[in-house]
Amino acid sequence: MVLSSGGARGLAHVGVIEELESRGYEIGEIAGCSVGALVGGMYAAGKMPEFKDWICNLDRLDVFSLMDFTFSSRGFIRGEKVYNALKRVVKDCQIEDLPIPFSCNAVDYKSGKEYIFREGSLFAAIRASGSIPTVFQPARHSRQEFIDGGVLNPIPISLITNHENRTLVVVEVNGPEHFFVPRPKTDQRGKSYISIPGWLQDYHRKMIQYFPEEQKVEKPTSLTSFSIISRSFELLQDRFCELLIEKYPVDVTVRIARKQAGTLEFHRAAEMIEIGRNLAKTALDKLEDGN
């Protein structure tokens, strides 16, 4: 199983894994990148229930409080606070001791080479793999400094050691816009994701009554230079991801649009998990039907 990079969208990986388990599939190996390394590492360590319970109970304010902001030009988030919080939920361990073979990647930004983690501290590997450039400061490990593995290999299918005799499942959460799906209103138990207190609804109605909403101002159609650069990088990543998937004999592909959620919108965990579950159902139905 291969889990891509993609920030908060990668929480959809949890839903895909749960759907595979519910159908009796046994995951024999996991390769992850960035958030894919985080989710894959938690599952390989047998700690998915603890991780899911923690991440799904974080609201917007909780997520913000876990961001240790800094004025450094190397990244505006140190990245230590959130991992220290996670360590209180799930203890660190050695990758080589995990019951399921696990690997993840990062990039040594000085040499420009991909580095593969197959042993050593699980959290050190996850921290290195998820060091999003300009967002999180590079991770220091063994006298090297690493940035997000997604820079060179966002869908690390190449890390899987044996996919010839297995069903190869790839989850990619940086897909083009046409993969976007409407936000689910309820989870698998029928519980709503959005619960608005009655007093707030009443307040909103009164505000509209006494202060009618003004006509919306149209957004400028021209893009800034930063927007153009960002969009260009997204297009390159889209094409690169497609080429990676085409290169290998992938049996099941679950793709989620980049616009489905923002990189740091981890407060939408439950929603993204459900989206991953629903898309996995569709993909696995096609596999099992022979289509």
* Digit-coded pLDDT (tens) for 211-268: 555 444 455 566 788 788 878 888 888 889 999 999 999 999 999 999 999 999 999 9
Local confidence band at 203 (pLDDT 50, 70, 90 cut-offs): low
Q: What is the 3-state secondary structure (H, E, C) of 228-265?
A: HHHHHHHHHHHHHHHHHHHHCCCCEEEEEEHHHCCCCC
Q: Choosing from 34, 103, 129, 131, which is the catalytic residue?
A: 34
Asked whether residue 46 carries a pLDDT value surpassing 60, the answer given is yes
This prediction's pTM:
0.86
pLDDT value, residue 60: 92
From 4, 103, 131, 148, the catalytic residue: 148
More confident residue, 187 or 162: 162
Alpha-carbon distances of 183 from 6, 19, 278, rounded to whole Å? 18, 18, 11
Q: Which of 186, 21, 97 is nearest to 13 (CA)?
A: 21
Which band of pLDDT confidence, cut at 50, 70 and 90, is reported for residue 206? low
Supply the mean pLDDT for the chain.
89
Mean pLDDT of the region 99-108: 97
**Using an 8 Å Cβ cutoff, are 30 and 105 in contact?**
no
At residue 221, the pLDDT reads: 61
Q: Which pLDDT value is given to residue 8? A: 96
Q: Is 68 a catalytic residue?
A: no
| pLDDT value of residue 17 | 98
Residue 154 DSSP symbol: S
b/e string for 205-236 if b means 16 or more Cβ within 10 A? eeeeeeeeeeeeeeeeeeeeeeeeeeeeeeee
pLDDT exceeds cutoff 70 at 205: no
| pLDDT for the residue 194 | 52
Q: Is 230 an annotated catalytic residue?
A: no
Confidence check: pLDDT of 41 > 90: yes
Secondary-structure percent of the chain, ordered helix, strand, coil, rounded to 5: 45, 15, 40
Look at residue 142 in the predicted model and tell me its pLDDT: 84
Backbone angles phi and psi of 17, in degrees to 5: -60, -45
- CB within 8 A of 201, min separation 6: which ones? none
pLDDT for the residue 216:
47
